[in-house]
Structure 1
C-alpha cells in the first residue's frame, strides 16, 4: 500500500494535491511528463525542481518523496523516454511484411517518431554530454534496447535468407545508421536550414527527407 507523502506542518493540502496524493501513478506520470520538457530544454544541471513542482501543482518535497533526488528523476525520465519508443516499435509487426517493406517501415517509423518527439533527441544529446553516465546506471534502458536490435536483426536476416539483402552487415551498425540519419534530421535541422537557406519544416520537405532516408538504408543492404 502506498502511503501519502508528509504534509508540511501548519499547512493543509489543497483538494487538487489530495487527489494527486491518492493517485500516486498519475502524480508520478505528471511529474515525469513535465520533467521531460524541463530536462530536455535545460539539461540536468539547468533544470529546476521548483519549476517542475509548480507546473505539476505539487511540491519539491513530494517530488523528492517519489523520486529521491534530482538525478533519480532525470534517470526516470530517460527510462520513460526509451521505454516509449521501444514499446511502439514492438507494435510495428515487422514480421508480417517482406524484408524490404519491413525495413522501410522501421526506418520511416524512426524518422517520424524522432521528428515528432524532439524532446527525446534533446535528452539523448544531453546524456551524451554526460558521456552516458546516467544511462549506464539504468539496467532497464539497457534491457529495453535488446529487443530493438533483435528486431533489426530479424528483418535483416530474413532479407539475407530471401537473397534480397547482402550478407556481412552488423545489425547494431545497421541500427546505428538508421538512428544517425533520423537523429540528424531533428538535431541539426535549424542550423542546416539557416546555413543552406532551405525550408526543412514544410510537409513536402519532411516527406521527401523521410523517403530519402528509407531509400538510402534499403539500397545499403540490398543485394
Structure 2
C-alpha cells in the first residue's frame, strides 16, 4: 500500500490499525503484541502507527476506547421508549449480555487490562464519557418504572449496571472453567438461555415494588 493512498484515506488507515491491534492485544496482551506485526496486518508501516497513536501504549488505550464506544453505540440504538419498564429493562439487559457473548476480543482485553490494574484505562479522557450513555439508559428505564409504580425507588443506576454486567461477564469469561468443574457448557444456546432467563427474573424481582402487607397480616399486627 503506497503512502499516497494512506494519505488519501487517513480514517481508513486508523481503523485498520485499530482492528489489527485489537487482534494482537486480545491474543497476546500488551506486552506480547508487536508494533511491526500490527502495522503489517493493517497494511501500513510503523511510522504511520506512531503518527496516529504516538506509542504502543497509546494504541492500546485507543483500542480499549474504541471497544467501549462500540458497546455504548450498540446499546444506544435500542428503542425502549414504547416498551413497559420491565420489558425495556429485560431488552436492555439481554442486549448487554449478547454484546459480551458476541465480542470475545473485548472480554480478553478487559481481562488483560485488569491484570494491569486498570492503569492504562486511567489514562483515557474519553472512557467515562463513552460509558455514560449506557448508564443513563439504565437510569431512565429505572425512572420510568418508578414513576409507574412498577419499580422500587432508590435503585442506584450505576450499581445496577455493574450488577448486570457482572452477571453476564462471569458466565461468558469463565465458561471454560465452569464447564471443567460442573460439566455444563454455558456457551451452548440452551444452557445460556436458561441461565439468562434466571438472571433476568432475579433482577426484575429485585426491582419490583415490595408487596404491601395483606389484610390478614395487618390485622395480626
TM-score scaled by length of structure 2 = 0.89
Mean CA deviation greater in 141-150 or 68-77: 141-150
Give the match's secondary structure for 1:165: coil
Aligned counterpart, 1:88: 74
Aligned counterpart, 1:10: none
Aligned counterpart, 2:217: none
2:186 is aligned, of 167, 192, 200, to 200
Measure, in 2, the Cα distance between the counterparts of 1:201 and 1:20: 40
Aligned counterpart, 1:119: 105
1:101 is aligned, of 87, 90, 106, to 87
Unpaired runs of at least 5, structure 2: 210-221
Mean CA deviation greater in 197-206 or 151-160: 197-206
Aligned counterpart, 1:215: 201
* Residue-by-residue CA offset, 1:122-164 (whole Å, 9 max, x unaligned): 1112222222222222121111122221111111111111111
Q: Does 1:48 align with 2:22?
A: no
Measure, in 2, the Cα distance between the counterparts of 1:130 and 1:157: 36
Give the match's secondary structure for 1:75: helix
* Residue-by-residue CA offset, 1:55-76 (whole Å, 9 max, x unaligned): 1222222211221100110111
* Residue-by-residue CA offset, 1:174-209 (whole Å, 9 max, x unaligned): 001001011112110011011111122222122223
Structure 1 contact 115–185 (Cα < 8 Å) conserved: no
2:64 is aligned, of 66, 72, 78, to 78
Measure, in 2, the Cα distance between the counterparts of 1:208 and 1:148: 25
Aligned counterpart, 1:163: 149
TM-score scaled by length of structure 1 = 0.88
Number of matched residues? 209
Measure, in 1, the Cα distance between the counterparts of 2:72 and 2:21: 20
Show structure 1 runs of 4+ deviating over 6 A: none
Structure 2 contact 146–152 (Cα < 8 Å) conserved: yes
* Residue-by-residue CA offset, 1:62-95 (whole Å, 9 max, x unaligned): 2112211001101110110010010111110222
Aligned-residue offset at 1:32: 0.3
Unpaired runs of at least 5, structure 1: 1-13
Q: Does 1:36 align with 2:22?
A: yes
Measure, in 2, the Cα distance between the counterparts of 1:70 and 1:28: 14
